[in-house]
Homo-oligomer: A and B are copies of this chain.
C-alpha cells in the first residue's frame, strides 16, 4: 500500500535479492497487488496496481501487507482492516505507529498475526528487534539517538563547513534529503515520534508523543557550531529517553556532544542510536537512517520474519498502560550558554548566579559563552534571568 519512495524500494529489494529472500523465508514472496492513487502506465507494475483497499483485504491469497503510505489517514483504517482480516502487516510509517501502535499491536496479537515496524525508526538500522530480543535481560537506562538524517546533515555542514542554517537547509533540499516543507524534520517532530516508539518498546508502555518536550534546530547558528568546534564537540539533534529510579524523562532537543561520545562521529545523513543498559553498559547502532533502499531492506527483513513465524507471531510492542513522561530538564546536566556583553563586565554576576563555570570567547564577538556545572533546567533559567542578555542555551554532554 503506497508505491512511493519506500514502497518502490521494497519492490526493488524483493526483486534484486529474490533468491536469498526465498531461502530465508522458506517460501517465495511475490507481490500480487499494489495499492496506489496513481496509474503506472507502461511500467512493469502496471497490472498489479489497484485503487481499492478492499481488493487487498478480501484477497485470501494475500498473507502480508506492506504499508508505506505515510501519515495516519487513511493508513490507519487500511492497516486495521488488513489486520482484522488476519493478514500480517509490516510498516515503515512512524506517524502511524506512534499514533495508533497500541491498538494495532493489540489487534495483531488477538488475530495471531505479525505487526512489525522495524523500518519506522532508524531506517535500515536494526534497533527495535535488538532492543526487544537481544537486550531482553536488560533494564534499559537510556536511549539517545540521532534519529533524523536531514537535521544531522544540516548540523554537520554547519559544524564542518561553517555554513549558516539556511545554506545547509538549501543544500539538503537540493540533494533530496529535505522535503520542500522541511518543518517535520527541522522542528523535531520526526525525531519525537521515533523516540516515542523506542521508549514504548523498551518500557512496554504506551508513550503519548505529544507529551514529549520537543524542539528542533532552527535556533542553532553557525556561531554555536564554532564554539562547539573549539571545545572539540559537536551539536546534534537528540531524541533522549532516560529511565531513572522508575521515572521516564524524555526530550527532543539539540545537544552539545563530546568528541568521545560514539554519537559525535555520526555525521551527514547517518543515524546513530545509543542504548545504555544496567548490565550491558553502552552500546550503539549506526547506519543509514533513511533513504529508499535501507528503509525498504528493513521492511523486507520484517516480511521474512512474518513469514517464518506464521501463526506464532513475535510479540514486539507494548501494552495500553500509559507511561508517565517527565522532562529531561528536571535532571541536573550541564548547559552551554551565550550571553551578550563582555566577560570582564559581567564576570561577577555570572559567577554569583551560576557558581563555577567554564568561560569561552570567540574573537571579535560582542558576547561571551559559558559551560555551566550540572544544574536543572529551572535552575539554569533562574540563573540566566539574573544575569540577563541570554542569547543561546544548549544542553551539554561534555
Tell me the A218-247 residues at the B interface (CB within 8 Å).
none
A118 within 8 A of B: yes
Contacts A126-B133, A134-B298, A277-B297 aside, 4 further interface pairs with beta carbons under 8 A come to A16-B139, A124-B279, A129-B129, A133-B133
Tell me the A278-294 residues at the B interface (CB within 8 Å).
278-288, 291, 293-294
Q: Are B137 and A304 in contact (CB under 8 A)?
A: yes
Q: Give the top 3 A-B pairs by smallest Cβ distance, nearest first.
A: A137-B300, A283-B287, A126-B134
Q: Are B134 and A130 in contact (CB under 8 A)?
A: yes
Docked Cα-Cα span, A16 to B129, in Å, equals 23
Which residues in B have their C-beta under 8 angstroms from that of A297? 135, 137-138, 277, 279-280
Tell me which of B135, B291, B299 contacts A301 (CB under 8 A). B135
Q: Are B139 and A17 in contact (CB under 8 A)?
A: yes
Tallying the copies of this chain within the complex gives: 2
Which residues in B have their C-beta under 8 angstroms from that of A130? 126, 129-130, 134
Which residues in B have their C-beta under 8 angstroms from that of A280? 124, 287-288, 293-294, 297
Q: Are B24 and A125 in contact (CB under 8 A)?
A: no
A4 within 8 A of B: no
- Nearest Cβ distance between residue A376 and chain B, in whole angstroms? 28
Which residues in B have their C-beta under 8 angstroms from that of A277? 124, 297
Tell me which of B14, B286, B303 contacts A283 (CB under 8 A). B286
6 residue pairs of the A-B complex, CB under 8 angstroms, read A16-B139, A16-B279, A137-B298, A283-B286, A285-B285, A308-B315
Tell me which of B288, B308, B309 contacts A282 (CB under 8 A). B288
Indicate whether A139 sits within 8 Å of B294 (C-beta atoms), given known contacts A134-B129, A281-B287: no
A204 within 8 A of B: yes
- Nearest Cβ distance between residue A145 and chain B, in whole angstroms? 13
Which residues in B have their C-beta under 8 angstroms from that of A125? 283
Docked Cα-Cα span, A315 to B25, in Å, equals 11
Q: Are A24 and B294 in contact (CB under 8 A)?
A: no
Q: Are B288 and A24 in contact (CB under 8 A)?
A: no
Q: Are A285 and B288 in contact (CB under 8 A)?
A: no
Which residues in B have their C-beta under 8 angstroms from that of A286? 262, 283-286
Indicate whether A137 sits within 8 Å of B283 (C-beta atoms), given known contacts A126-B130, A278-B16: no
- Nearest Cβ distance between residue A25 and chain B, in whole angstroms? 8
Interface centre among A125, A279, A297, A315 (most CB of B within 10 A): A279
Indicate whether A281 sits within 8 Å of B124 (C-beta atoms), given known contacts A129-B129, A129-B130, A262-B286: yes
Q: Are A293 and B279 in contact (CB under 8 A)?
A: yes
A305 within 8 A of B: yes
Docked Cα-Cα span, A253 to B278, in Å, equals 33
A20 within 8 A of B: yes
Which residues in B have their C-beta under 8 angstroms from that of A300? 136-137, 279
Which residues in B have their C-beta under 8 angstroms from that of A39? none
Docked Cα-Cα span, A47 to B271, in Å, equals 49
A49 within 8 A of B: no
Which residues in B have their C-beta under 8 angstroms from that of A129? 129-130, 133-134
A211 within 8 A of B: no
A8 within 8 A of B: no
Docked Cα-Cα span, A293 to B312, in Å, equals 31
Interface centre among A21, A129, A204, A301 (most CB of B within 10 A): A301
Which residues in B have their C-beta under 8 angstroms from that of A20? 139
- Nearest Cβ distance between residue A244 and chain B, in whole angstroms? 15
Which residues in B have their C-beta under 8 angstroms from that of A17? 137-139, 278-279
- Nearest Cβ distance between residue A27 and chain B, in whole angstroms? 13
Which residues in B have their C-beta under 8 angstroms from that of A282? 287-288
A296 within 8 A of B: yes
